[in-house]
Amino acid sequence: MGKKDLRYLCYPYMRESASTVDFEIRTDSLTTRIGLAASLTKDIPVVHEDLMYLLPMVYHLNGSVRGNMAITQEDLSRLSEMYDVYVEEVKDQIDRFLLPQGTTAACVLHTCRSEAKKSVRALHKVSLEQEVPKLLFDYTHLLANVLFVMSVYVNKLNGIEEIPFVSKSYPVRKRSKAGK
């Protein structure tokens, strides 16, 4: 019997029925979007550096469900500090629901935020099948919020005004600083 030709296998766990696979695919998608955002923010060093830091962190998050826990309390603290820095810059703009628009970089960051939310949901599905440390949930939720405030910050630096969204479905209320 010859060695399996790996060109016909994009991911070794693809046929598993466990939700772990969906989480891993979702966080892989998030990582690729963060890479795209990083390529669009080279002219904004602080954002670019933060995104380059987050690239491997999301892959560490990815592997923390199936493999060894690679996200630490220190990682969560660093992400929390990152959040605080951006919130300080945009706090006046994030007290309401905003339309995901603006510069290309900000729009890609909004896409990253959405991918992070999908990752939270996929992690929830995993938690129905196996125990998932609260730290992973905290990190993934916070990551979505960091990506949101980053997008608003990028628009602010580029002089793009945020456009509030007023829902016809839900009563109007002020948003918390947590983002969407």
pLDDT for 2 equals: 61
**C-alpha to C-alpha distances, 151 to 32, 66, 113, 138, 154, nearest whole angstrom:** 17, 31, 9, 20, 5
For residues 21 and 34, what is the distance between their CA atoms, to the nearest angstrom? 20
Chain centroid to Cα 132, Å, comes to 18
Spell out the domain ranges in the chain.
17-157
Q: Name the CATH code of domain 17-157 (choices 1.20.1200.10, 3.40.50.12710, 3.40.50.10420, 1.20.1300.10).
A: 1.20.1200.10
Per-residue model confidence as pLDDT tens for the chain (180 residues): 567 888 887 777 777 789 999 999 999 999 999 999 999 999 999 999 999 999 999 999 999 999 999 999 999 999 999 999 999 999 999 998 999 999 999 999 999 999 999 999 999 999 999 999 999 999 999 999 999 999 999 999 999 999 999 989 987 665 555 555
The partner residues of 65 in beta bridges, in order of sequence, read none
Please state the φ and ψ torsions of residue 82, each to the nearest 5 degrees: -60, -45
Say what the pTM is: 0.91
